[in-house]
């Protein structure tokens, strides 16, 4: 689908000199290509379908801003290999508008207890960021991954059934939700009453980036290799649960 003006994403990157915003569609496309692998100049030109002079200007500007870097091509030292030289933070979604009312959360069941209060705070921070058009999923996923790695040290087990049992008890015991293992091949986990997304407005897409990061780290530690973890159903998509599928190892 062709995007109308104002719908192009704005990507945010962390560089040594600070945060840099990239809103040029050409630059966004270049960065998307460099996220996967290093690329020579000619391959970038071919991938973007733009003139060499145009790409050269963009590459030079992004190099100056610290978003990308370059090195000499060992096969031809007259040419350069370009690579991403910054950390991806998130994106601005220009046209994203969410309707939310904080008063409803307090009036449903009276004043919340401490865990529920912090869940509301977490939710409201996310909602406000969404309403400002800021996608923080990459940051939440990274944070969840760190928490998941630390959590595995407490609940880890070489036996998968034991690990899943401990995971279920931890989730329910800390009011993170209720875990139900629906399948072991492939490994499919449902989460009911999900702390991360149950009260989010409908977004039309999965919203449990923190949970996703936690599960990736936990099963990486268990299996000793990185496993694909996908969220296919979510409260933020209109479902009554969240569904995570732990897939095959990344190759």
**How confident is the model at residue 5, as a pLDDT?**
44
71-85, 107-121, 157-171: least confidently modelled range: 107-121
CB-CB neighbours of 23 under 10 Å:
12
Task: Decide: 209 and 140 in contact? Cβ < 8 Å.
Answer: yes
**What is 10-90's CATH topology?**
Arc Repressor Mutant, subunit A (1.10.10)
Question: Using one digit for the tens of pLDDT, what is the confidence trace for 4-27?
Answer: 444 556 787 888 877 788 878 899
Question: Using one digit for the tens of pLDDT, what is the confidence trace for 94-134?
Answer: 555 454 455 665 666 566 666 677 777 777 788 777 766 67
- Residue 20 backbone dihedrals phi, psi, to 5 degrees: -120, 135
Question: Using one digit for the tens of pLDDT, what is the confidence trace for 167-187?
Answer: 999 999 988 999 999 999 899
Task: Decide: 164 and 244 in contact? Cβ < 8 Å.
Answer: no
CB-CB neighbours of 245 under 10 Å:
17
- pTM of the model as a whole: 0.62
Q: Find, among 219, 222, 223, the residue nearest to 244 by Cα.
A: 219
* Continuous H helices in the chain: 25-36, 41-48, 52-64, 102-107, 114-131, 137-155, 160-173, 209-223
CB-CB neighbours of 231 under 10 Å:
22
Every domain of the chain and the residues it spans: 10-90, 96-249
96-249 domain in CATH 3.30.930.10?
no
Q: Partners of 188 in the beta sheet? A: 183, 245
């Amino acid at each position: 689908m062709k995007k109308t003006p104002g719908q192009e994403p704005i990507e945010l990157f962390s560089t040594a000199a600070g945060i840099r915003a990239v809103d040029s569609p050409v630059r966004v496309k270049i960065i998307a290509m460099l996220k996967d692998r290093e690329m020579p100049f000619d391959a970038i030109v071919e991938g973007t379908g733009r003139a060499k002079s145009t790409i050269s200007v963009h590459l030079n500007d992004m190099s100056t801003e610290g978003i990308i870097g370059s090195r000499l091509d060992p096969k031809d030292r007259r040419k350069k290999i370009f690579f991403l030289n910054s950390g991806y933070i998130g994106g601005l979604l220009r046209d994203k508008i969410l309707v939310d009312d904080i008063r409803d959360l307090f009036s449903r069941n009276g004043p919340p207890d401490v865990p529920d209060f912090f869940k509301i705070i977490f939710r409201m921070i996310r909602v406000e960021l969404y309403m400002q058009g800021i996608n923080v999923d990459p940051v939440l996923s990274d944070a969840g991954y760190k928490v998941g790695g630390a959590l595995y040290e407490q609940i880890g087990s070489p036996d998968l059934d034991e690990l899943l049992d401990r995971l279920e008890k931890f989730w329910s015991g800390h009011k993170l939700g209720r875990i139900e293992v629906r399948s072991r091949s492939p490994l499919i986990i449902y989460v009911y009453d999900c702390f991360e997304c149950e009260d989010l407005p409908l977004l039309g897409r999965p919203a449990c980036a923190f949970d996703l990061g936690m599960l990736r780290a936990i099963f990486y530690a268990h299996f000793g290799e990185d496993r694909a973890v996908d969220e296919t159903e979510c409260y933020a998509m209109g479902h009554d649960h969240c569904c995570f599928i732990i897939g095959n190892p990344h190759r």
